[in-house]
């Protein structure tokens, strides 16, 4: 195999249609669809006494108004995506609430009308009589259990988990130095530029349900819909077309609309669509990141960590549809790239009257990284040591892999770092950061991090050479901007010896590939990328065998290159791949680019049927890749910042990233992921804050008040790579989707702390927050 494309800065094949305005996003599809609106709870916690939909139903142009009682699945609790034995009190919502609502934005009624304008008018006419109940909004209040979110969940605790590595108690007792920290991370929101949308059609003659959904997991949505509507999976197609950013929360099984839209389409016999508006996106779509950590660390006089005890509470929100993946990831990732010989971590996952939480880019890791890095800075301060030196002394060394941390990972395995070189990352970042700029109120922050990527169970791919010589490839996971079509084409093109432009990729369309899991947890490149390599490798083998028959050579003497199968060392002796595709189907095609070439050869006479036992027609194959464990990516971010001591405006003077995601498929794409991740991290560290009030109302549910950074807030990011290939997959790659965001909070906190001399123990910061902290310090 030549590697012409893998590793090259190949420009994206998906750009042309997106740049011309010819992309296909879910809301772009109309096709005579009725439009719908969800009526949502304006209360964070309330009993529903009655709902009157008569006026809404009577409005001309309204097709239907559904309440829970109108749904065959109205009394079914929605599923828990990933159950866990420690999730003793898991609770999920129902599609439409009928007795109690537990967060602002919980769906209560579903209105379908001729168009969106009428549907909105009708939604205004739905009368719900709510009786407000006491609200629990902060994780601390929840843990104190003054009020309950669910009557039958004592203490508001959905799950509790304790993990012990070594003997923290004795190690703490024996440690020469000890330090306690109280650290707080608030909720944040992914806020993809495209909000969510669903379009569905039921075709009675075909007995077929077709759903377009801006989801990160069409295969799972399809499985769920098939069960719920009692259809064989083969009668349900789910397609994630172009998706305008995902970052985690576009995977959730299920948002109510994902059931209601197909249901209404089947009931009403017309296509139905639903498009979320930005305001409802703020409360209806899952959030993340609310955690409170109580850390105690024991260390020696050189700043080496001897024992770490982290007891944290995780804000689940009102329900636990995603299980306890987030706190499990946090618990696993607190030690990060450092040796922590004795580690005890306990978490409680607690209910609050706020939007449910599920992974948002970083998924439990930014808070873990923040906790560990704040701890190391505290050690350095206590011992008056250099912050970087303390990190150097605690880093896992490059000869310590595989390194077992001793705690559980999100896939049920143990956390084992497969490969890496953490000291090299730190030294390179320092080198890139260069000398400290002159001036006052300047601070430096640096944070290495690890990220478990590429979790299983598996992904698959189908690759086929058409008789035109073009190649089509499909996988189940969709793209939300990660350039899968380009990256997969690079992998396939190398194995088949064709031009990257000759490979056309479809992803996230169950009509093209029906198995798979989803795009999340930085797993796409590892799982689907390797599946592409497996499938394309199978096709290449098949092509060699078919061609060998006709060239009368040993398959081992053949190679795929230049769009042909040819004899190694004599490139003129070969047959175009298009012709091999024709030959691979014993009943020749009447049309097609390869036909003529194929008929120049006569079949070698051999006994037996044309299609030998075990052979399949067509130059195609389906392959799967199932990793044995996570591939652990790592990196290091460092920055200089200046904070204005009067206005507390943050200026990022320099920001550098060194990243190790093993072998790079396409540096352009990886760098784009990092730049975007850092920007999201900066937003989450200093600008974006979900301002919930004591009544559980989100006071800033618009882009006017939830301050996502514009270009003016984001500096240039300098990026470098080191490559330690993962031994756990044939391509040696590790995921890269979340790396940009993980350490940003830790870096900014450390830098701001130094710039202002104010202890930073919480995220996000803001000018106002820094002002308050500085006032508190002077008083």
Partner 1 sequence: MKVNGVAQPAPADPRRLLSDHLRHDLGLTGTHVGCEHGVCGCCTVLFDGAPVRSCLMLAVQAEGHDVTTIEGLAASDEPLHPVQQAFHECHGLQCGFCTPGFVMSVVGLLHEHPDPTPEQVDEGISGNLCRCTGYASIRRAVRRAAELTQK
- Binding to ligand FES (CB under 6 A) within 231-260 occurs at 245
When CB distances to ligand FES are compared, the closest residue is: 193
Q: Are 160 and 346 in contact (CB under 8 A)?
A: yes
CA distances from 39 to 121, 133, 321 (A): 11, 19, 21
Nearest Cα residue to 186 out of 647, 745, 771? 745
Residues 724-753 contacting partner 1, CB under 8 A = 740
Q: Which residues contact 706 (CB under 8 A, 6 or more apart)?
A: 189, 191, 282, 688, 689, 690, 700
494 binds, among partner 1, ligand FES, none (CB under 5 to 8 A by kind): none
Angle formed at CA 373 by CA 764 and CA 386, multiple of 5 degrees: 120
CA-CA distances (angstroms) from residue 762 to 148, 348, 441, 713, 749? 26, 19, 20, 21, 8
Of the pair 63, 673, the CB lying nearest ligand FES is at 673
| Beta strand spans in 276-361 (E) | 291-299, 305-317, 343-351
| Residues 21-50 as x/- pattern, contact with partner 1 by CB under 8 A | xxx-x-xx-x--------------------
- 328: tokens are 């499990």
> Which residue(s) pair with 576 in the sheet?
564
User: Do residues 290 and 315 touch, judged by C-beta distance below 8 A?
Assistant: yes
When CB distances are held under 5 to 8 angstroms depending on the partner's kind, the choice from ligand FES, partner 1, none that residue 589 binds is none
Residue 173 or 193 having the CB closest to partner 1: 193
Which of residues 193, 603, 691, 768 is near ligand FES by CB under 6 A?
Answer: 193
Write down the least CB distance from residue 493 to ligand FES, Å: 25
Q: Which of 537, 677, 684, 743 binds partner 1 (CB under 8 A)?
A: 677
* Chosen from partner 1, ligand FES, none, partner binding at 679 (C-beta under 5 to 8 Å by type): partner 1
- Say which entry of ligand FES, partner 1, none residue 21 contacts (CB below 5 to 8 A, set by partner kind): partner 1
Characterize the bridge pairing of strands 471-475 and 503-507. Answer: parallel
* Binding track, positions 465-494, relative to partner 1; x by CB under 8 A: ---------------xxxx-----------
Of 19, 384, 556, 590, which lies in the binding site for partner 1, with binding defined by CB under 8 A? Answer: 19
Least CB distance to ligand FES at residue 28 (A): 14
How many residues of this chain interact with partner 1, rule: CB under 8 A?
56
Token reading at 154: 């004592």
* Centroid of chain to Cα 253: 14
516 binds ligand FES (CB under 6 A): no
Q: b/e string for 594-628 if b means 16 or more Cβ within 10 A?
A: bbebbeeeeeeeeeeeeeeeeeeeebbbbbbbebe
* Stretch near partner 1 under the rule CB under 8 A, chosen from 189-197, 322-330, 363-371, 762-770: 189-197
Residue 359 CB, nearest approach to ligand FES (Å): 19
Beta bridge partners of 637: 447, 657
Judged by CB under 6 A, the chain residues 473 through 502 that form the site for ligand FES are 481
How far is Cα 398 from Cα 50, in angstroms, rounded to an integer?
Answer: 64
Q: Are 509 and 549 in contact (CB under 8 A)?
A: no
Segment contacting partner 1 by CB under 8 A, of 154-162, 244-252, 392-400, 620-628? 244-252
**In the block, residue with structure tokens 């301060």:** 381
Q: Which of 88, 269, 586, 710 binds partner 1 (CB under 8 A)?
A: 710
Closer to ligand FES by CB, 226 or 668: give it.
668
Query: For ligand FES, what does the binding mask look like between residues 521 and 560, x meaning CB under 6 A?
Result: ----------------------------------------
Tell me the closest approach of the beta carbon of residue 195 to partner 1, in angstroms: 7
User: What is the nearest approach in angstroms of ligand FES to the Cβ of residue 193?
Assistant: 4
How many binding residues for ligand FES (CB under 6 A)? Answer: 3
Q: Which of residues 416-435 bind ligand FES (CB under 6 A)?
A: none
Q: Which is nearer to ligand FES, 419 or 480 (CB)?
A: 480
**Pairing mode of beta strands 236-239, 208-213:** parallel
Burial of 735 (0-12, 13-18, 19+ CB in 10 A): buried
Q: 295: burial class by Cβ within 10 Å (0-12, 13-18, 19+)?
A: buried
- Member of 12, 184, 304, 573 binding partner 1 (CB under 8 A): 12
- Write out the residues near ligand FES by the rule CB under 6 A: 193, 245, 481
- Write out the residues near partner 1 by the rule CB under 8 A: 11-12, 14-16, 18-23, 25, 27-28, 30, 116-117, 190-195, 242-245, 247, 277-279, 480-483, 668-669, 671-672, 675-680, 702-704, 708, 710-712, 714, 716-717, 740
């Amino acid at each position: 195999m030549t590697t012409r494309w893998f590793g090259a800065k190949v420009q994206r094949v998906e750009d042309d249609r997106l740049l011309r305005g010819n992309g296909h996003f879910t809301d772009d599809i109309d096709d005579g669809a009725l439009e719908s609106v969800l009526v949502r709870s304006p209360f964070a916690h309330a009993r529903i006494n009655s709902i009157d939909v008569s006026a809404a139903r009577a409005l001309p142009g309204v097709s239907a108004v559904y309440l829970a009682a109108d749904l065959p699945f109205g009394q079914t609790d929605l599923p828990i995506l990933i159950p866990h034995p420690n999730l003793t009190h898991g609770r999920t919502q129902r599609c439409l609430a009928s007795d109690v609502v537990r967060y602002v934005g919980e769906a209560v009624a579903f209105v379908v009308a001729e168009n969106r304008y009428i549907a909105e008018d009708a939604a205004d006419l739905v009368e719900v009589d709510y009786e407000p109940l006491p609200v629990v909004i902060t994780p601390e209040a929840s843990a104190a259990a003054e009020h309950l979110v669910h009557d039958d969940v004592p203490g508001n605790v959905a799950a509790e988990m304790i993990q012990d590595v070594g003997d923290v108690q004795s190690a703490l007792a024996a440690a020469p130095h000890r330090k306690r920290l109280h650290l707080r991370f608030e909720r944040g929101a992914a806020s993809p530029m495209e909000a969510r949308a669903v379009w569905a059609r039921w075709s009675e003659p075909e007995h077929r349900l077709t759903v377009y959904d801006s989801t990160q997991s069409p295969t799972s949505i399809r499985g769920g819909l098939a069960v719920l509507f009692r259809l064989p999976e083969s009668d349900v197609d789910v397609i994630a077309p172009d998706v305008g950013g995902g970052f985690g929360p576009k995977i959730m099984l299920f948002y109510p609309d994902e059931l209601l839209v197909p249901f209404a389409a089947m009931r009403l016999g017309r296509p139905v669509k639903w498009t979320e508006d930005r305001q409802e996106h703020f409360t209806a779509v899952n959030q993340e990141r609310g955690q409170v950590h109580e850390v105690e660390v024991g260390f020696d006089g050189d700043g080496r960590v001897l024992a770490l005890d982290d007891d944290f509470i995780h804000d689940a929100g009102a329900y636990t549809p995603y299980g306890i993946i987030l706190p499990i990831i946090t618990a696993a990732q607190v030690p990060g790239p450092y040796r922590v010989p004795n580690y005890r971590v306990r978490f409680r996952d607690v209910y609050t009257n706020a939007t449910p939480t599920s992974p948002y880019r970083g998924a439990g890791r930014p808070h873990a990284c923040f906790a560990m890095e704040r701890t190391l800075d505290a050690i350095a301060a206590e011992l008056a040591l250099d912050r970087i030196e303390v990190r150097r002394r605690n880093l896992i060394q490059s000869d310590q892999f595989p390194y077992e941390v001793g705690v559980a990972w999100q896939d049920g395995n143990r956390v084992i770092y497969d490969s890496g070189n953490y000291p090299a990352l730190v030294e390179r970042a320092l080198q890139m950061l260069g000398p400290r700029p002159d001036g006052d109120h300047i601070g430096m922050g640096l944070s290495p991090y690890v990220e478990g990527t590429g979790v299983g169970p598996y992904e698959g791919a189908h690759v086929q050479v058409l008789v035109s010589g073009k190649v089509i490839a499909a996988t189940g996971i969709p793209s939300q901007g990660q350039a899968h079509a380009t990256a997969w084409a690079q992998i396939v093109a190398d194995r088949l010896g064709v031009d990257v432009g000759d490979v056309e990729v479809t992803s996230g369309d169950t009509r093209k590939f029906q198995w798979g899991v989803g795009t999340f947890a930085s797993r796409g490149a590892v799982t689907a990328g390797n599946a592409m390599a497996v499938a394309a490798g199978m096709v290449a083998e098949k092509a060699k065998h078919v061609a060998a028959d006709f060239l009368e050579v040993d398959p081992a003497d053949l190679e795929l290159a230049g769009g042909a199968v040819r004899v190694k060392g004599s490139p003129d002796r070969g047959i175009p791949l298009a012709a091999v595709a024709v030959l691979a189907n014993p009943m020749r095609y009447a049309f097609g680019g390869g036909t003529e070439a194929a008929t120049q050869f006569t079949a070698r006479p051999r006994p037996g049927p044309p299609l030998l036992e075990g052979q399949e027609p067509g130059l195609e194959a389906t392959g799967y890749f199932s990793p044995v464990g996570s591939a652990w990516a790592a990196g290091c971010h460092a920055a200089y910042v200046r904070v204005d001591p009067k206005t507390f405006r943050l200026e990022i003077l320099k920001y550098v990233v060194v990243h190790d995601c093993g072998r790079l498929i396409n540096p352009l794409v990886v760098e784009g992921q990092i730049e975007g991740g850092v920007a999201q991290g900066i937003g989450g560290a200093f600008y974006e804050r979900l301002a919930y009030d004591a009544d559980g109302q989100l006071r800033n549910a618009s882009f006017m008040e939830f301050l996502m950074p514009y270009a003016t807030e984001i500096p240039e990011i300098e990026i470098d790579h080191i490559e330690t290939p993962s031994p756990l997959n044939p391509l040696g790659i590790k995921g890269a989707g979340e790396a940009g965001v993980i350490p940003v909070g830790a870096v900014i906190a450390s830098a701001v702390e130094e710039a202002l001399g104010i202890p930073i123990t919480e995220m996000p910061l803001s000018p106002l927050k820094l002002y308050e902290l500085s006032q508190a310090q002077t008083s």
